[in-house]
Amino acid sequence: MVLNYSVIQQDKSCGARLGLLHTTHGTVETPIFMPVGTQAAVKTMTPEEVKEVGGRLILGNTYHLYLRPGQELIREAGGLHRFMNWDGPILTDSGGFQVFSLGPLRKISEEGVTFRSHIDGSEHFFSPEKAVEVQEALGSDIAMVFDECAPYPCTHEYALEALKRTTRWARRCADAHRREDQALFGIVQGGVFADLRRQSALDLVGLDLPGYAIGGLSVGEPKAVMYEMLDVTVGFLPPEKPRYLMGVGSPDCLVEGVVRGIDMFDCVLPTRIARNGTVLTHHGKLVVRNAEYARDFDPLDPTCDCYACRNYSRAYIRHLIKAGEVLGIRLTTIHNLRFIQRLMQEIRDAIRQGNILEYRDNFLKNYLQA
Amino acid sequence: MVLNYSVIQQDKSCGARLGLLHTTHGTVETPIFMPVGTQAAVKTMTPEEVKEVGGRLILGNTYHLYLRPGQELIREAGGLHRFMNWDGPILTDSGGFQVFSLGPLRKISEEGVTFRSHIDGSEHFFSPEKAVEVQEALGSDIAMVFDECAPYPCTHEYALEALKRTTRWARRCADAHRREDQALFGIVQGGVFADLRRQSALDLVGLDLPGYAIGGLSVGEPKAVMYEMLDVTVGFLPPEKPRYLMGVGSPDCLVEGVVRGIDMFDCVLPTRIARNGTVLTHHGKLVVRNAEYARDFDPLDPTCDCYACRNYSRAYIRHLIKAGEVLGIRLTTIHNLRFIQRLMQEIRDAIRQGNILEYRDNFLKNYLQA
């Protein structure tokens, strides 16, 4: 099998586990956070910078790359890795989430989804087969099935139809998938309904895919509901396969996800809030663009080892952001991704030392009370 | 003296010369091109990246830094070097050029200039003494006198008044200047009038300043006129002091300036056109954002050794720029500054080898015919 996952250590008192994920472009430790490189770049960063902050596996967005520059151009370039000069593993989503997020710009049928480009309004059609074709052209290490992500809130009936379609589409994706150097993951749907999450998981596990994602969460529901859905879903997923919680990346959710047995995460949050002048610390968020930091010559986070914190003050970074200087958002992005990668390292260390629940409690006490 | 300049080699057949400029923050070779860090950052770049492309002496803009974040904040931070984490030499302009460029937003008197901020419309007053005070707070290695830059075109009468005021203001700057670790350069004005350039140069040389700039050129006049003004001006400047041509940085002008005896240059052109998707090559400009490069997998310039050219294709960089990804303009900026720094290195090598005129002819043949 192209993708090999092994559990190194399973925590005794919760779902947390250490693992190794072997892909075509190398091996990574889990639990892992994947920086998002939507348009073939992690926003503002070079691949070397992504590695320096600890990024090992990055995500590319199929919807965006299909529209611009197009998967055939990337295939000609030698694939996404070569196009963007990233030699580590890449996971691509299927475009499902983006296409369903287009709202009135898309039309769903059993065959697939017709949608209009957010760039130029042109009409396009995505089907399970098309999503696989595009991801095979991109050449990611891990591809995702084309799923229907139900909105929150939605009825039990709607969520049921969406999960059943997601299962049918997952089968079509698996049938269409050819690349032997690329793994195809399933996506569990089912909204906020425990019985539907169970059904979706059991249906997909029947397809014997090399990994399973949990989709349709962190779309507006309370965090407690998300955690409950993780609790009911993870139990039906095979322990020997990696579990990926899609689109989740706030620090508290990462820790809570890990203790429930999640191995992989991605989210634009750390990089997006960075561009808005907000940075992450163990004591919560710090809005460095606020006036109170104008004459603050401390680093963003005195305990951080990132390039920004080693070399620059809050006052300087605030100045850059206020002045519209790109270097400002480069520095906050570096810091936020480094913060998240250090958090994941701390999480892995805590699992290794058998005290992940204690770590979780301490972390949340500091992070949420700030 | 805080600033020491020595001519290492004077070309026999033209004005070109090799020199060493010793400043409080280190020694640089001349002729030199100074990347512009208007708002305490060379746009899009870290100091390490500026050094990697060969930048050794950078420029900061007094007008911008005075308005935001303010010179007192930078003084509190330990000066501009420490604020922006640049340990090499810095030259600051006086704000004169920017203030005079504000047009209807400013009012000139013998005492100084009242102007409105381009940021928030607030009213400010700059005088020779104020320009010195601000630059002393910034702590640059080289400060510039507060000058009146006449527009192009303007009458002989107007240019005469402006140069006389510039000389009076230069004297006031010299009288006000206190920092012993900072050199103060004069600025020759006189528009496009040979007799006025001569008068301005002679007047300023009488002040015995440690270096002289030539201002008020590259403001719209034909290049032939600029070269003529250089020819008439340089002859009246002391050979043992550095000569700085302000705001000039197109590759052909750099070469032509050097053969006329210029030692220092600054310009936003290489970084500004980079952000617009245009890159410099020995065969002229290349607009990488054009459609013709969409599937061009060559580097920006196959002969270039910069980070962008070593790792990325034109197709990728074009994609990034079209998609609004910051990494795109980071790569074109790196390339353009590296191109200019390599050009300056080639120029210094040619002077050393005694063939600068031949180099000039070859360079211009390739660069301008493309």
Question: Is the per-residue pLDDT at B1 higher than 70?
Answer: no
Tell me, yes or no, whether A92 and A31 share the same domain. Answer: yes
B84, B323, B327 member nearest A68 (Cβ): B323
Domain that residue A259 falls in: 3-266
B64, B83, B322 member nearest A68 (Cβ): B322
Q: What value of ipTM does the predicted structure carry?
A: 0.98
Asked which of A266, A298, A332 is the last residue of a domain, the reply is A266
Nearest Cα of chain B lies from the Cα of A68 at a distance, in angstroms, of 7
Inter-chain residue contact B68 with A44, CB threshold 8 Å: no
Tell me, yes or no, whether A220 and A294 share the same domain. Answer: no
- Strands A4-10 and A17-23, sheet pairing: antiparallel
A41, A295, A297 member nearest B320 (Cβ): A41
Tell me, yes or no, whether B111 and B250 share the same domain. Answer: yes
Separation between Cα atoms, residue B147 and residue B162, nearest integer Å: 8
Asked which of B231, B247, B266 is the last residue of a domain, the reply is B266
Residues of B in contact with A288 (CB under 8 A): none
Asked which of B232, B266, B300 is the last residue of a domain, the reply is B266
Residues of B in contact with A64 (CB under 8 A): 323
Tell me, yes or no, whether A262 and A288 share the same domain. Answer: no
Residues of B in contact with A320 (CB under 8 A): 39-41
Number of domains in chain A: 2
In 3D space, the residue among B106, B217, B118, B112 whose CA is nearest the CA of residue B166 turns out to be B112
Tell me, yes or no, whether A316 and A172 share the same domain. Answer: no
pLDDT band at B159 (very low <50, low <70, confident <90, very high): very high
Q: What is the pLDDT of residue A40?
A: 98
Nearest Cα of chain B lies from the Cα of A325 at a distance, in angstroms, of 7
Question: Is the per-residue pLDDT at B103 higher than 90?
Answer: no
Burial (CB count <10 Å: 0-12, 13-18, 19+), residue B324: exposed
pLDDT tens per residue, range B126-139: 999 999 999 999 99
Query: Binding site membership of B for Zn(2+): which residues?
Result: 304, 306, 309, 335
Inter-chain residue contact B327 with A41, CB threshold 8 Å: yes
Q: What is the pLDDT of residue B370?
A: 67
Edge-to-edge strands, sheet with A17-23: A4-10, A17-23, A26-30
Instruction: Give, in order, the Cα–Cα distances in Å from A177 to each of A184, A226, A350, B220.
Output: 8, 31, 38, 61
Separation between Cα atoms, residue B97 and residue B248, nearest integer Å: 13
Separation between Cα atoms, residue B181 and residue B140, nearest integer Å: 9
A46, A68, A320 member nearest B41 (Cβ): A320
pLDDT tens per residue, range A313-362: 999 999 999 999 999 999 999 999 999 999 999 999 999 999 999 999 99
Q: Which listed residue (B11, B203, B263, B266) is catalytic?
A: B266
Decide: pTM greater than 0.80. yes
- Strand-pairing partners, residue B32, are B264
Tell me, yes or no, whether B256 and B290 share the same domain. Answer: no
DSSP reduced 3-state for B27: strand
Nearest Cα of chain A lies from the Cα of B25 at a distance, in angstroms, of 18
Q: Where are the beta strands (DSSP E) in B32-135?
A: 32-34, 58-60, 90-92, 106-108, 113-116, 123-126
B45, B307, B316 member nearest A83 (Cβ): B316
Average pLDDT over residues B87-111: 92
Separation between Cα atoms, residue B48 and residue B58, nearest integer Å: 13
Tell me, yes or no, whether B206 and B76 share the same domain. Answer: yes
Nearest Cα of chain A lies from the Cα of B77 at a distance, in angstroms, of 7
Inter-chain residue contact A39 with B297, CB threshold 8 Å: no
With residues binned 3-state (H G I as helix, E B as strand, rest as coil), the percentages for chain B, rounded to 5, are 45, 20, 40
- Mutation target to probe the A interface, by most A beta carbons within 10 A, among B86, B87, B326, B333 is B326
Query: Residue A54 is part of a domain; what is its CATH number?
Result: 3.20.20.105
The pair of structure tokens assigned to A349 is 């260390």
Chain A residue set in contact with B, beta carbons under 8 Å? 39-41, 43-46, 64, 68-69, 73, 76-77, 83-85, 294-295, 297, 307, 311-313, 315-316, 319-320, 322-323, 325-330
Inter-chain residue contact B326 with A43, CB threshold 8 Å: yes
pLDDT tens per residue, range B35-61: 999 999 999 999 999 999 999 999 999
Residues of A in contact with B297 (CB under 8 A): 76-77
Inter-chain residue contact A326 with B44, CB threshold 8 Å: yes
- Strands B123-126 and B113-116, sheet pairing: antiparallel
Tell me, yes or no, whether A246 and A289 share the same domain. Answer: no
Residues A277 and A333 sit within 8 Å (Cβ to Cβ): no
Q: What is the pLDDT of residue B101?
A: 87
Question: Is the per-residue pLDDT at B142 higher than 80?
Answer: yes
Q: Is B93 a catalytic residue?
A: yes
Separation between Cα atoms, residue B244 and residue B188, nearest integer Å: 10
Q: What is the dihedral of CA A198, A203, A205, A210, to 10 degrees?
A: -120
Cis peptide before B270 (omega within 30 of 0): no
Edge-to-edge strands, sheet with B212-214: B32-34, B264-266, B243-245, B212-214, B183-188, B142-144, B90-92, B58-60
Q: What is the pLDDT of residue A100?
A: 87
Separation between Cα atoms, residue B197 and residue B229, nearest integer Å: 7
Q: Which listed residue (B93, B203, B263, B301) is catalytic?
A: B93
pLDDT tens per residue, range B193-232: 999 999 999 999 999 999 999 999 999 999 999 999 999 9
Count of C-beta atoms within a 10 Å radius of residue B244: 27
In 3D space, the residue among B61, B312, A369 whose CA is nearest the CA of residue B320 turns out to be B312
In 3D space, the residue among B329, B7, B335, B246 whose CA is nearest the CA of residue A43 turns out to be B329
Inter-chain residue contact A313 with B43, CB threshold 8 Å: no
List average pLDDT for each run of 10 residues in chain A, which is 370 residues long: 91 98 98 98 98 98 98 98 98 93 88 96 97 98 96 96 97 98 98 98 98 97 98 98 98 98 98 98 97 98 98 98 98 98 98 98 92
Tell me, yes or no, whether B67 and B107 share the same domain. Answer: yes
- Mutation target to probe the A interface, by most A beta carbons within 10 A, among B45, B46, B329 is B46
Nearest Cα of chain A lies from the Cα of B53 at a distance, in angstroms, of 16
| Count of residues making up chain A | 370
pLDDT tens per residue, range A114-128: 999 999 999 999 999
Inter-chain residue contact A76 with B297, CB threshold 8 Å: yes
Helices vs. strands in chain A: H and E counts, helices first: 15, 16
Residues of A in contact with B85 (CB under 8 A): 311-312, 316
Number of A to B CB contacts under 8 A, please give it: 100
Tell me, yes or no, whether A276 and A251 share the same domain. Answer: no
- Strand-pairing partners, residue B281, are B284
Average pLDDT over residues B95-116: 91
Chain B residue set in contact with A, beta carbons under 8 Å? 39-41, 43-46, 64, 68-69, 73, 76-77, 83-85, 294-295, 297, 307, 311-313, 315-316, 319-320, 322-323, 325-330
pLDDT tens per residue, range B321-360: 999 999 999 999 999 999 999 999 999 999 999 999 999 9
In 3D space, the residue among A340, A240, A348 whose CA is nearest the CA of residue A285 turns out to be A340
Separation between Cα atoms, residue A344 and residue A332, nearest integer Å: 18
In 3D space, the residue among B76, B90, B94 whose CA is nearest the CA of residue B41 turns out to be B90
Tell me, yes or no, whether B228 and B191 share the same domain. Answer: yes
Tell me, yes or no, whether A337 and A212 share the same domain. Answer: no
